[in-house]
Structure 1
Amino acid sequence: MRKFIITALLACCLQVSAQQLSYYLPANVSYNSSVPTPKSVVGHDVGEWHITHDRLVTYMKTVDAASDRVTLTVTGTTHEGRQQLALFITTPANHAKLESIRQQHLQLSDPVKSTSLNTADMPAVVWIGCSIHGNEPSGANMSLLLIYHLAAAQGKAIDELLENTVIILDPSFNPDGLNRFSNWVNMHKSATLVSDPNTREYNEVWPGGRTNHYWFDLNRDWLPAQQPESQNRLKIFHDWRPNILTDHHEMGSNSTFFFQPGVPSRVNPNTPKKNQQLTGAIGNYHAKYLDSIGSLYFTKEGYDDFYYGKGSTFPDIHGSIGILFEQASSRGHVQQTENGLLTFGFTIRNQFVTALSTLEAARNMRKELLDYQRQFYQDVKTEAAASAVKAYVFGDAYDQSRNALFLEMMKRHKIEIYENKQALDADGKSFKPGSSWIVPTNQSQFKLVKTIFEKTLNYEDSLFYDITSWTFPLAMGLPSAELKTVPTLGNSVDDVKKPTGSIIGSSSKYAYAFEWDDFYAPKLLYALQSKGVITKVASQQFESVTSTGNKKFTFGTIVIPVAIQSKTADDIQRIIETNVAATGVQVYALNNGLSVSGIDLGSGSLVATRTPRILMLGGNGTSSNDAGEIWHMLDQRMKIPSSLIELDRFGSANISSYNIIVMPEGSYGNMEKAEQDKLRAWISNGGTVLAFEGAGRFLASAGITRTIYRSADGKTDTTLMLPYNMRSDEMRAREMPGSIFEARIDHTHPLCYGFRTKTMSIFKANTLFMDQNNSPYDSPVLLSDNPLQSGYLHKSYVDKVKGTAVVNIENIGRGKVITYSDNMNFRAFWFGTSKLFLNALFF
């Protein structure tokens, strides 16, 4: 039987007493006794317990009150109401002129103003960011040491550092996740420490502490910025544009320590070569500091800098240097690994040492970093002038809400946008004033604009750490086009105005109608249903007389007959008025049932809508990220409640009250035969299952559906004859990290209500290729014959993907299974496909 022994030395490292802060802190440095130590405030030594977020905030505020080197700002709050902090650390003299330092620093981003700046006299700006993944806590715990050191250390070295540097410390990028994880490991810590990797302390239950409240990976949200934590953080980033931003992470327990530059061939081509050279130069400082304490490390392998939505890459497109640190994770307090016993204190020390090495590099390379940022934006101006694309135009004439969501996202990134003043035809699309906008490329954010709008098909490498394309107009389902000349620009968009809903025609004693195009139409429909209002959906087109003239209503229009309601006409009007204001949807008052053309309002083609009562499966065997994206869409966007039941409880749960079961991506290998039979019987009795990605494949393998999946054919290509040491690269090149594909749609089908185009863009991050069902009417969304729009696709999948089904519908008894090959709610910004999911709830 294997024995795990905790030695006296290990206990010494873990249970750091006040005098043993020397385990972490630099030698031969004296500290100001008026600045409290971490233990004196939080009640335990650094590394003895995992810091909870409330105690972390308390210590940061205490140091702020005790030190004239620190100014603390609350940048916002999380979904769970926890405060996000930014601590500005520099000399008292710099604090006295901090705003002028900031304003001057921002001039580096202005090619006109930056030429006159004397960078020899300017401080560098360094942002230290910690633990964006909550269960990678060594960074957040390190921040206790860092703020203490920077506030209390005395001597010439710290004075010179602070005089020449403004340091921004974010002690916890992800407060909700950090708190979830710290509670887990602390509640399972034994007084006699256990290092067995099998013990509960090191094995979180689903969904774990990595993510935020809605189970989003915040390190993928820097660019989309759909979560409040990201939006709060971006305000500080764009207010300061730091020269260096460090992102402190953890990785597998059997690893060592990683720092960038990472793999040279996996850097986004929009990132200048100089960026990687500077990253390598800074890396020499990390190596020196880690060598001094004997820590093992690696660099130039494993990780990449391609997707701009990560904390280590997002700065690179802003003239900054983003640096990823990955520390082997103890996952608790001490764990047996292939490299021996890994203590929590050791992981904290590595993060602290590399924070110090970053600051040393910033002090010594200060002018070079400032000059690089200035040159970056001067080069941007030159690149923009040379670009064949002079502007982008975008906008959906039928959905002002999606337009506003895209505008809001770009304005968070300080992108210049203008109203379109004239009718434009470009790339086979028409753009009209009032529903379209112009984004010129001749602006300081040219590179960011480019990466938001561009489509990419050619890559230097075939291995990726994250997605390979994120073209936002395709993601959001918005028409867009490149312009070779800049048209006459309208007003600058400074503040995005949310669409305002209203009743057109004031009131009606007969009926109301609203179209399904608007992103928030499902929110309005559910709000009406929840108030007991009877609603119907038009499966055919019709034209009615309104107060503004004849109006043509298309497939999916929601009709609210007044006379059949249990409420008075005045009550119906009041309910509609209240809810259109909260959704921005336009509702039309109709005063008679005789249509000018098409179906009349008493037609059988007006079908009763279903009020969804949703059960979502979760827990082990399902993806928490995918489940969280669905939960977020329903809860935050549409205000539709859903009940989450873990797979382990499904067998004993009473599911008779639900009419929808959502199965997020997952393997579902733990769903037993009895539970499968229970699910099959529930469907046969009239229920509808929505199964995403692997969930659909599970239902097919269980015999619940007859969906056929094409083989992904992951065999090794023997014609390559690669060396043995490259065998894993050949297999990884066959992965589908995330690309964009064109699909043909039948917009008369209930699942496609709200779409007016014949195609849509699908995000695919798997190798599931689903054949269409036997009935052509049961596969309303099919990938086209040449579907790749943007992103990487391995040659072995080119033929596999053609004509595959994105959605299949199968009748089982009185119920249905709707199978989706892909994620319809990817990372909360793929608005272009969300209605394929939402429509299944109502129609």
Structure 2
Amino acid sequence: MRTFFILFCLISLTIQAQDPIDLSYYLPDHNDYDKSIPTPESIIGHQVGKWHVTHDKLMMYMNALAASSDRITIEDRGKTFEDRPILLLTITSPENHADIHNIRNSHVALTEENSNTLNTSNMPIVVYQGFSIHGNEPSGSNASLLAAYHLAASQSQDVKDLLDNTVILFDPSFNPDGLQRFAYWANVNKSKNLNADPNDREYSEVWPGGRTNHYWFDMNRDWLPVQLPESRARIASFHKWMPNILTDHHEMGTNATFFFQPGIPSRTHPLTPQMNQQLTKEIGNYHAKALDKIGSLYYTEESFDDFYYGKGSTFPDINGGIGILFEQASSRGHIQESANGILTFPFTIRNQLTAALSTLEAAKNMRVKILDYQRSFFSNARNEASRQGNKAIVFGSEKDAARTFHLAEILKRHKITVHEVSSDFSTNGKNFRKGYSYVVPKNQRNTRLINAMFDVRTTFTDSLFYDVSAWTFNHAFNVDFAET
């Protein structure tokens, strides 16, 4: 009898989890939506969460939104190796769109010299929202359909105020090729009657899987090396705008819940200012409140760290912004049994949407504080560099000019000023030849990023790391190096 009862409960939960859902399951309460703005279902042909959205349908919807809403413009920044578009939406009020170039110039001026004359009280905050850099962690990109719709169509005063005070750089798919690969797998192996058994084929993706891009690179380690077309487009947009907050939506093991930063305190890189972590924690209060409201479990300051600057959640930290990692327990398909009960794909999407919107609420309410932090980050960095005098980094290799060139190329992609050596010279017992060597002045805006890329660090507060613990670029490229 007991076995029968347990079986009955499991079957009931599974049937309930397969009930049709509509937009009210996902979207915030008390919002009227402009009926002239297309819903995701009207363009992609199914309710969000019923199927895994393919990249082509995701792009169709984003283009449809841009065509129908004066809150959105769209930019095609290039193509992936599989020739998929790398799109970026800019979402803000129509009034801000009309003055977008001046808004960007004023915002970037916060990072330059003499920024103390700028008034942040009437300056919009800039938020970069990015989804599913690992393609087989798809709840992020599927949530982007709903987030974009909400921002384009909601007639609530809260959303109007948000858009008046915020410029949102919206990247619905960090990894188009990986997302497409995984969506195909999940959809092809989906049963008409969903099967929550973790042993089902749907939840055992074949190699190489959708995590990586076309050439199987993990793009969430490429924020510093910048070797892939998706990364190059993303980094160019980042440096063009210097966003205050960047969100990075991921998934983790099925038996987990939901994580948001800060990460493990002892594993924060020492070059990251303490104020960065304090602001991250304050933003986290908004996530906690929003997830409490919908009854979702979550945790913070465990499992993940803020050390390697080549990840999406930490790269902003060394560039005057605040990076935020979200990790949602993955259904790995459409519905799966977990240690916490039945986990459905729509549930994972709703959590990601909730975190995306709570980020924007925090950005709006903390706007001036975060803008002032960005200004002080670069002002303090310049003061640190000026106290060191005219110090510079020089690197080169007369045995391999290509290695030297490509290292300089990476620095330039990060808007770091680099000069070719004008004549042969020697320093610290090393020879640097014209045509084979470069000089990087340390007294420039991105001096902290320079330090992070060339830093040789052999002692650590914590001996454990999430993954990457060393990335000194002159060693990675095996070039001669000196500080002058």
TM-score by length of 2: 0.97
Counterpart residue number, 1:360: 361
1:152-195 Cα deviation digits (max 9, x unpaired): 00021111000000011100000000000000000000011000
Residues 1:61 and 1:177: Cα distance change in structure 2 (over 3 Å): same
Q: Is residue 125–residue 363 contact of structure 2 (8 Å, CA) maintained in 1?
A: yes
Shift of 1:11: 5.0
Q: Is residue 10–residue 343 contact of structure 1 (8 Å, CA) maintained in 2?
A: no
Shift of 1:3: 5.8
Shift of 1:7: 5.3
Counterpart residue number, 1:763: none
1:544-579 Cα deviation digits (max 9, x unpaired): xxxxxxxxxxxxxxxxxxxxxxxxxxxxxxxxxxxx
Shift of 1:389: 8.2
Residues 1:67 and 1:418: Cα distance change in structure 2 (over 3 Å): same
Counterpart residue number, 2:85: 83
1:251-281 Cα deviation digits (max 9, x unpaired): 0000000000011110111100000000000
Q: Is residue 173–residue 229 contact of structure 1 (8 Å, CA) maintained in 2?
A: yes
Q: Counterparts of 1:10 and 1:371 in 2: how far apart (Å)?
A: 49
Counterpart residue number, 1:65: 67
Helix, strand or coil at the partner of 1:196: coil
Q: Counterparts of 1:177 and 1:4 in 2: how far apart (Å)?
A: 38
Helix, strand or coil at the partner of 1:109: coil
Per mean C-alpha deviation after superposition, the further-off stretch among 175-184 and 103-112 is: 103-112
Helix, strand or coil at the partner of 2:439: strand
Q: Which has the larger radius of gyration?
A: 1
- 2:92 is the alignment partner of 1:104: no
Q: Counterparts of 1:119 and 1:441 in 2: how far apart (Å)?
A: 28
Counterpart residue number, 1:471: 472
Q: Is residue 88–residue 169 contact of structure 1 (8 Å, CA) maintained in 2?
A: yes
Helix, strand or coil at the partner of 1:295: coil
1:224-243 Cα deviation digits (max 9, x unpaired): 01111101111111100111
Q: Counterparts of 2:458 and 2:43 in 1: how far apart (Å)?
A: 54
Counterpart residue number, 1:446: 447
Residues 1:5 and 1:175: Cα distance change in structure 2 (over 3 Å): farther
Counterpart residue number, 1:42: 44
Counterpart residue number, 1:191: 192
1:219-234 map, 5 Å: 219-234=220-235
Counterpart residue number, 2:421: 420
- 2:271 is the alignment partner of 1:270: yes
Counterpart residue number, 2:347: 346
Counterpart residue number, 2:310: 309
Counterpart residue number, 1:698: none
Helix, strand or coil at the partner of 1:248: strand
Q: Is residue 390–residue 443 contact of structure 2 (8 Å, CA) maintained in 1?
A: no
Q: Is residue 111–residue 374 contact of structure 1 (8 Å, CA) maintained in 2?
A: no
- 2:405 is the alignment partner of 1:404: yes
Q: Is residue 220–residue 312 contact of structure 2 (8 Å, CA) maintained in 1?
A: yes
Residues 1:436 and 1:356: Cα distance change in structure 2 (over 3 Å): same
Shift of 1:9: 6.3
Shift of 1:435: 1.9
- 2:307 is the alignment partner of 1:336: no
Q: Counterparts of 2:215 and 2:39 in 1: how far apart (Å)?
A: 34
Shift of 1:421: 2.2
Letter in 2 for 1:21: L
Letter in 2 for 1:44: H
Q: Counterparts of 1:131 and 1:246 in 2: how far apart (Å)?
A: 11
Counterpart residue number, 2:140: 139
Helix, strand or coil at the partner of 1:425: strand
Per mean C-alpha deviation after superposition, the further-off stretch among 345-354 and 390-399 is: 390-399
Helix, strand or coil at the partner of 1:284: helix
Residues 1:8 and 1:99: Cα distance change in structure 2 (over 3 Å): farther
| Structure holding more strand per residue | 1
1:640-719 map, 5 Å: none
1:770-781 map, 5 Å: none
Q: Counterparts of 2:113 and 2:301 in 1: how far apart (Å)?
A: 32
Q: Counterparts of 1:263 and 1:272 in 2: how far apart (Å)?
A: 15
Shift of 1:116: 1.2
1:455-466 map, 5 Å: 455-466=456-467
Q: Is residue 90–residue 163 contact of structure 1 (8 Å, CA) maintained in 2?
A: yes
1:781-837 Cα deviation digits (max 9, x unpaired): xxxxxxxxxxxxxxxxxxxxxxxxxxxxxxxxxxxxxxxxxxxxxxxxxxxxxxxxx
Shift of 1:400: 1.9
Q: Is residue 4–residue 195 contact of structure 1 (8 Å, CA) maintained in 2?
A: no
1:326-360 Cα deviation digits (max 9, x unpaired): 00000000000000000000000000001110000
Letter in 1 for 2:271: N
Helix, strand or coil at the partner of 2:247: strand
Shift of 1:306: 0.5
Counterpart residue number, 2:57: 55
Shift of 1:28: 1.0
Residues 1:254 and 1:125: Cα distance change in structure 2 (over 3 Å): same
Shift of 1:111: 2.6
Ranked by relative contact order (alpha carbons within 8 Å, sequence separation 6 or more), the top structure is 2
Q: Counterparts of 1:436 and 1:201 in 2: how far apart (Å)?
A: 52
Q: Counterparts of 1:305 and 1:4 in 2: how far apart (Å)?
A: 44
Counterpart residue number, 2:291: 290
TM-score by length of 1: 0.56
Q: Is residue 396–residue 437 contact of structure 2 (8 Å, CA) maintained in 1?
A: yes
Q: Is residue 263–residue 302 contact of structure 2 (8 Å, CA) maintained in 1?
A: yes
Helix, strand or coil at the partner of 2:474: helix
Q: Is residue 16–residue 46 contact of structure 1 (8 Å, CA) maintained in 2?
A: no
| Structure holding more helix per residue | 2
Letter in 2 for 1:59: Y
Q: Is residue 18–residue 194 contact of structure 2 (8 Å, CA) maintained in 1?
A: no
Counterpart residue number, 1:570: none
Unmatched tracts of structure 2, length 5 or more? none
Residues 1:256 and 1:324: Cα distance change in structure 2 (over 3 Å): same
Q: Counterparts of 1:228 and 1:4 in 2: how far apart (Å)?
A: 51
Letter in 1 for 2:48: V
Shift of 1:423: 2.7
1:20-35 map, 5 Å: 20-35=22-37
1:739-778 Cα deviation digits (max 9, x unpaired): xxxxxxxxxxxxxxxxxxxxxxxxxxxxxxxxxxxxxxxx
Helix, strand or coil at the partner of 2:110: helix
Unmatched tracts of structure 1, length 5 or more? 484-843
Q: Is residue 151–residue 159 contact of structure 2 (8 Å, CA) maintained in 1?
A: yes
Root-mean-square deviation (Å): 1.5
Q: Counterparts of 1:236 and 1:7 in 2: how far apart (Å)?
A: 48
Query: Alignment length, in residue pairs?
Result: 480
Q: Is residue 419–residue 436 contact of structure 1 (8 Å, CA) maintained in 2?
A: yes
Q: Counterparts of 1:4 and 1:463 in 2: how far apart (Å)?
A: 45
1:320-331 map, 5 Å: 320-331=321-332
Residues 1:100 and 1:4: Cα distance change in structure 2 (over 3 Å): farther
Q: Is residue 135–residue 181 contact of structure 1 (8 Å, CA) maintained in 2?
A: yes
Helix, strand or coil at the partner of 2:435: coil
Helix, strand or coil at the partner of 1:88: strand
1:383-782 map, 5 Å: 383-387=384-388, 390-483=391-484
1:669-702 Cα deviation digits (max 9, x unpaired): xxxxxxxxxxxxxxxxxxxxxxxxxxxxxxxxxx
Shift of 1:429: 1.0
Letter in 1 for 2:298: Y
Q: Counterparts of 1:4 and 1:179 in 2: how far apart (Å)?
A: 37
Q: Counterparts of 2:257 and 2:390 in 1: how far apart (Å)?
A: 45
Q: Counterparts of 2:306 and 2:32 in 1: how far apart (Å)?
A: 39
Shift of 1:424: 2.3
Helix, strand or coil at the partner of 1:304: coil
1:12-71 Cα deviation digits (max 9, x unpaired): 655545xx2110001111000000110010001000000000000000000110100000
Letter in 2 for 1:404: F
Letter in 2 for 1:205: V
Letter in 1 for 2:33: Y
Q: Counterparts of 2:15 and 2:72 in 1: how far apart (Å)?
A: 33
Q: Is residue 13–residue 342 contact of structure 2 (8 Å, CA) maintained in 1?
A: no
Helix, strand or coil at the partner of 1:30: coil
Q: Counterparts of 1:16 and 1:76 in 2: how far apart (Å)?
A: 37
